[in-house]
Structure 1
Amino acid sequence: ADLAVATGQGAEAERLFRQALTIAEGLAAGEPGNTTYARDLSVSYNKLADLAVATGQGAEAERLFRQALTIAEGLAAGEPGNTTYARDLSISYERLAVLDLSAGRVSEAREQFRRAVGIRRRLYRQEPRRIDLAEELAVTLYLLADSADEDLEMRQEVDAVLAPFERLGVVTAKGVAVLRWARSEPSG
């Protein structure tokens, strides 16, 4: 289904995502306590929401992202030490923040970004050697800085988080771009 989106086959992607959602809903309904099925359902909602964003259906995207968020919040609350559930929750907050920002709801976006940053900071501190967690934190800090007046602090934190990985030569292109932003002169 992701390939269908990338190749411009949106209708086929939507059909496949909806099919996956139907299966995930059935499994989750059949075993309400099964956290794997609940997570799969949350991921299905997020994928359909991403497609809705890509096709300009903001209201539908928000509805689906909120359904994913509700599940992610429940899973994270049920297993506070589960890093996968915490990461999923941070992703839900970030996706809603981006949607809020694009709709002009700046204060709501900032709040969602701050929630995502809080989780991502905690995850990064728990596993400071994971480049994926470091880069996710850096990207969310960049997005928060773009929506708030905390530019300098965010730039410094991004540099501090990613510099050790840069020295090791393991920063991805996305991380390099965020580092470049962090080290550039703030505009304005």
Structure 2
Amino acid sequence: MTVVEFQPGSSPGTYLNVGAMWLWADRAFWAFDYGGRTSWRNDVTFTWRPLDGEAGWQQRVGFLNADQFSREMALVARVAALQVQKLRQQFPDAAAVCDELTNSSAQMGESPLWHAFHGGAAAALSGDLPAAKQNLETVASADLHFEWQHELAAQAVGLLQLMHDPAALRTRVAETIACSRRLLGLPAVTAGSEADDSAR
């Protein structure tokens, strides 16, 4: 699922947040699991992490007048659309998500537990059981201090208990995706769609 947010600040104007939200965790709120605050240039190039000291990047459009704001927001909307397109190309299925998360570390500001859980769920959905087991065991065996960590670990344990039955494991992940869609007020996946399509 791609998420786009035009986020207000303390003064009139907006920031742009674009990212992917993985739906295979029990959550009733929106999240940026991959991506987030976007920086852009006037040539519509964009990044989540501009290099320190590199000139030309913007993160915010301030409101001066209606004409100026409309003109600058047209550029920001184009950047958002291009970023959504890039995410959809980068993650066409759960296997691509698994590959990215398994071969990368948590992003700045991202919990390593969430990173491992998402990698494990993506691996389970795509049939990569060794990667699923490794990632989910990382979550289940972690030192847990907060309620959300215990809840996430319980979800990981639930998936680990199905590791002996790949079909049941995939079904559990698909059911969680369907539940997340309901909690977020999203339409159900149409009949005949692949389960990994509903993760986007």
TM-score, structure 2 length as denominator? Answer: 0.37
Q: Which structure carries more strand by proportion?
A: 2
Structure with the bigger percentage of helix:
1
* TM-score, length basis structure 1: 0.39
Larger radius of gyration: 2
Which structure has more relative contact order (CA 8 Å, sep 6+)? It is 2
